[in-house]
Chains A and B, each alone.
Chain A
Amino acid sequence: MARFAAGKAPFLRIADQPKQGTAVIMRDFMIGMLPVILFAWYKNGIQVYMDGNIGLLEMFYPLVFVVLGGVFSTLLETIFFLVTDPNAKTMKSLKQKLGTSFAAIPGLILALMLPLYTPIWVLLFGCFFASIVAKMLFGGFGNNLFNPALLGYLAVGFTMSGVINAAGGLFNQSELLIDAYAGATPLGLLARLKVLDYDLLVKPYGSLWNFFLGTIPGALGETSALALLLAYIWLSVRKVIRWYTPVIYIGTVFVVSWGLGIASGEAGLWFPMYSILSGGLFFGAVLMATEPVTTPKNPFGKVLFMLFLGVLTVLFRFIGNFPEGVGTAIIAMNIFTLPLDKFAAVVRAEGYRKAAFWKSVAIGAFILAIAVYAIFKGATMYAAFAAGGLF
C-alpha cells in the first residue's frame, strides 16, 4: 500500500527543520567516515611506524593524503562557484553554497579508494574529475548522474594506474616485507591463480579474521570491514542511509558468490566470506551505493538497484578482466537510477497492478539470469583452470 502525507498544506520539509538540514547530514556523514579514515591512517601509517619500517614524517602521509582529497575538492568547487556563479562572490554566499554542496565528500571518498603511494597531483586530477566533471558540470549537488568520487576513481584508474605503481603502489612498507603476499591483493591473487583454494587465497593473508579487521593489502580505506561496519551502524542510526541497502548489496554478493563456489566444486562458506570481505565491497556498499543523488529514492527502487549491483559485482569481479567489480557495477547502475526510480514510484503509487507485476517479474528474471550466468560461467572458468593443472 502506498504511503502519503495526509493533512492540509503547507507542509514543512524535514530538511528545512533546525538540526535536520543537509549540513547536519554532511556532519553525520563525516563522522561516519571517521572510523574508516582513522583505520586507514592506523594501518598504513601508525602501525608501519610502530613496526619500525618508516619514519615519523612518513607516518602522517595517509592522513594528510585523505584530508588533502577533501580540501582539493572543496577548493575546486569554490573556484567553480566563483567563476561560474554570479551569486557566489562573497565569503558568506560561498559558505552557504559549499555548505549545501557536500563539497569535501567526493575528494575524501576518492582519496580513501586510492592506493597509499598515489602522487598528490594524481589525487588532484581525480578530485577535478570527481568534483568538477562528474558533479559541477552536471549542475552541482543533486543533479549529477554518476557518483562523483567513483567517476574520479575510474578516471584515475584508467589513465594513471601506471603512474601510481611507479610511485610505489598500494603496499605499505610493512606489507612489502611479507613474501606470502606475493605482491598481490586477495582479489588480485584470485585473478592471477583462477583457483578457489582457501590455502592459496586466504592463508597468505592470515585468516578471514584479518580480512574482517582490514589488515590485508588494499586501497587506503577499503580493507577494513570492521571500520565500515561502524560507519554503517552510525549512518543507519542517524538515518543518513537506509539500513537495508548495504545489507541487500552485500547479501546478494554473498549468495551469488556462494553459488559460484558450489558450482566450481568449492562449497565452503569461506569463499563467499572471502568474496564479501575482499576488495571494496563494504566500502562501496556503505559509502557509495547509498549516495542519495545517484541511487533510487524509492525503497523498492533501492532494493532492485542493490540486487542488480550484487549480481553485476560478481559478474565483473569473477568473469571480467579486472579483479575489482564494485566501482564498475555502481557506475553502470547509476545510469539506470532514473528508470528504476520511476518504475518503483509507479509501483509505490499504484500498487502491484497487472502491468507492474509483470514488469517486476521481468526485472527479477533479468537479475536472476545475470546471477545464473555469473555462477555457471565463473564455475567453468575456475573449474577449468583447476582441472587443467595450473602448476
Chain B
Amino acid sequence: MKTFFQTNRLILIVSFLLVLLFAAGGAYSNYMTDRITFHQYNDLFPTATAFHPYTPETIADEETFVAAYHAMNRQTMIGVVYVVFAQGKMGNLTLAYGVDTASDKVVGVKVVSQNETPEYYSRLSTAFFQQFGNYSFDQLNMTISTVAGATLSSGAFQLGLVAARAQYALDFDFEIPSAVVLINSLTYNLDLATIVAKPILANITDLLTGETIDVSLSATFDLVAVETAGKAAPSAAVLAELKSTAQRDYIAFSKTVATGYDALTRTLIVKTRGYAAAGILATIVFNETFDSVDSGSFVSVETYDQSHDYDMAFGAAPGIENHLYGLYAADQAVSAVAGATYTSNGMIALFGYLDQILAGNGGN
C-alpha cells in the first residue's frame, strides 16, 4: 500500500484536487441555482427567507402543474408559490402565483417564462398585474380584466389562476366556493322607456332560497331592481356571484349598451366598445314607428388609422363607423374591415342591438 501511494503520489494528489474542486464548485453552482428560486419569488413574499420546493401528494392537473414551493420566514411557512403552465397565444406561459395561506388570497403573480409576441405582450401593463394582489380564492368565478389586443396572453393568467386554486384546494383543504345563483336567461331590455335605467334583464334562480326571480341590471351587471313583484332582493353573495358570472359569460352585454334616450326626438345614444376604452358613441334616430332608423352618427376615438393592416380606404375615425352604418342602413351585409377588427365588431354588435329594438316594433 505504501509503495502504491509513493508510486502514484502525484496522480493521487491531482485527482484529489480535481475531486475537491469539483465538489466545492458543485456546491457553489447548486447554491446559485437555489438562489434563482429565491430571487424569482422573493417579490411575491418579500419577508420570505427561503423557498422550499415540495411535491404535492395529489396533483390537480398534471398538464398545468410545474412546481410548488413553501415560502418560509425562517422556520415558519408564510405562503405557497404555485408555478403552472397556461396557454397563451404563442404557446405556454409559465406563471408563478403566490398565495397567502392565512387569508387564502393571491399576493401576486410572476411570469417565469413566456414566448408571446413582444409587441402584444408589452400591452400587459402594471395595472393588469396589480389586479392579482390581494385576489381572493374565495369567489366562484376567477375572473380578471383581460387586455384588449392581448386577449389570449392576458387570458392565460386567468387559466393559471384557476389551476393554482385547484392545487391550493388539494394541498390546504381549501373549499372552492360552489354556485349560489343560476342565470336562466340574460337579455337586453328593449323597452325604450326604461332602456337606459335598466339596460339588462335577467331571470335567475337563487340557489340559497330556491326562488326564481326576474331582476334588472346595470351595464356593469349590478342590481337595479327586482322585477318580480313581492320578492326581496337576493343576498349580497348571490349578487356578487351573479355579477362575476355575467362578466364571464355575458360580457358582450356590457360592451354595447344604451346610455341615453330622448323620446321627443326618438334619439337613442348607444355606447359600443371597439378598440379604444372610451368606446364609440352612436347617436341613432328612429323613424316614427320605431321599425327603422332614420339616421346614425358617431363620435369615435378609434385608432385604426395607425394599424399597418388598414389601407385607409375610409379614412380616420369615424370613417369606418360611417361606412359600416351605410351598409347597415342600406340593408347590405356588414363584415369586418381589415385592420379595424375591434372597431368593426363593436359596430356589428351595435347593429345587432338595434335590430332587436326594431324587431320588437315590427321592423326587419
Q: Contacts A89-B10, A182-B121 given: A53-B26 contact, CB under 8 Å?
A: no
Question: Is A180 close to B, CB under 8 A?
Answer: yes
Q: How far is the CB of B143 from chain A (nearest CB, A)?
A: 24
Question: Is B36 close to A, CB under 8 A?
Answer: yes
Question: Is A5 close to B, CB under 8 A?
Answer: no
Which of A147-202 touch B at CB < 8 Å?
167-168, 173, 176, 179-180, 182-184, 189, 192-193, 199-200
The 8 Å CB contact of A117, one of B15, B22, B33, is B33
Task: Flag if A61 contacts B28 (CB, 8 Å).
Answer: yes
The 8 Å CB contact of A167, one of B33, B111, B120, is B33
**What A residues does B187 contact at CB under 8 A?**
none
Question: Chain B interface mostly helix, strand, loop or mixed?
Answer: helix
Question: Is B356 close to A, CB under 8 A?
Answer: no
Chain B residue nearest to A62 in the complex (CB): B32
Tally A residues with Cβ within 8 Å of B.
45
Per-residue interface assignment for chain A, residues 96 to 126, with 1 indicating a CB less than 8 Å from any chain B CB and 0 otherwise:
0000000000000000000001111101100
Chain B residue nearest to A121 in the complex (CB): B26
Task: Flag if A72 contacts B18 (CB, 8 Å).
Answer: yes
Which of B1-57 touch A at CB < 8 Å?
10-11, 14-15, 17-18, 21-22, 25-26, 28-33, 35-36, 39-40
Q: Contacts A79-B14, A119-B33 given: A176-B21 contact, CB under 8 Å?
A: no
**What A residues does B15 contact at CB under 8 A?**
79
Task: Flag if A179 contacts B122 (CB, 8 Å).
Answer: yes
Chain B residue nearest to A197 in the complex (CB): B119
Name which of A71, A72, A82, A390 has the most chain B CB atoms within 10 A of its CB.
Answer: A82
Complex CA–CA separation, A360 to B120 (angstroms): 51
Task: Flag if A179 contacts B25 (CB, 8 Å).
Answer: no
Task: Flag if B26 contacts A79 (CB, 8 Å).
Answer: no
Q: Contacts A61-B28, A120-B29 given: A75-B36 contact, CB under 8 Å?
A: no
The 8 Å CB contact of B11, one of A79, A167, A390, is A79
Q: How far is the CB of B118 from chain A (nearest CB, A)?
A: 5
Tally B residues with Cβ within 8 Å of A.
31
**What A residues does B33 contact at CB under 8 A?**
117, 119, 167-168
**What A residues does B116 contact at CB under 8 A?**
182
**What B residues does A65 contact at CB under 8 A?**
25, 29
Q: How far is the CB of B29 from chain A (nearest CB, A)?
A: 4
Question: Is A91 close to B, CB under 8 A?
Answer: yes
Question: Is A204 close to B, CB under 8 A?
Answer: yes
Question: Is A350 close to B, CB under 8 A?
Answer: no
Q: Contacts A72-B21, A89-B10 given: A54-B118 contact, CB under 8 Å?
A: no
**What B residues does A355 contact at CB under 8 A?**
none
Complex CA–CA separation, A103 to B37 (angstroms): 36
Complex CA–CA separation, A390 to B89 (angstroms): 12
Q: How far is the CB of A385 from chain B (nearest CB, A)?
A: 13
Q: How far is the CB of A175 from chain B (nearest CB, A)?
A: 12
**What B residues does A76 contact at CB under 8 A?**
18
**What B residues does A173 contact at CB under 8 A?**
36, 39
Task: Flag if A200 contacts B121 (CB, 8 Å).
Answer: no
Per-residue interface assignment for chain A, residues 45 to 81, with 1 indicating a CB less than 8 Å from any chain B CB and 0 otherwise:
0000000011101100100110010011001101100
Task: Flag if B39 contacts A54 (CB, 8 Å).
Answer: yes
Q: How far is the CB of B66 from chain A (nearest CB, A)?
A: 12
Q: Contacts A167-B33, A183-B115, A192-B115 given: A75-B18 contact, CB under 8 Å?
A: yes
Q: A61-B32, A119-B33, A173-B36 given. 5 additional CB < 8 A pairs?
A: A58-B32, A65-B29, A119-B30, A168-B36, A176-B40
Identify the 6 closest CB pairs spanning chains A and B, nearest first.
A120-B25, A82-B11, A120-B29, A75-B18, A168-B36, A119-B29
Task: Please list 23 pairs of residues, one from A and one from B, whose beta carbons are closer than 8 Å in the complex, sorted by A's number.
Answer: A57-B31, A58-B35, A61-B28, A64-B25, A72-B21, A79-B11, A79-B14, A82-B11, A117-B29, A117-B36, A120-B28, A173-B39, A179-B122, A182-B114, A182-B118, A182-B121, A183-B115, A189-B118, A192-B115, A199-B119, A390-B117, A391-B117, A391-B120
A residues contacting B by CB (< 8 A) are 53-55, 57-58, 61, 64-65, 68, 71-72, 75-76, 78-79, 82-83, 89-91, 94, 117-121, 123-124, 167-168, 173, 176, 179-180, 182-184, 189, 192-193, 199-200, 204, 390-391
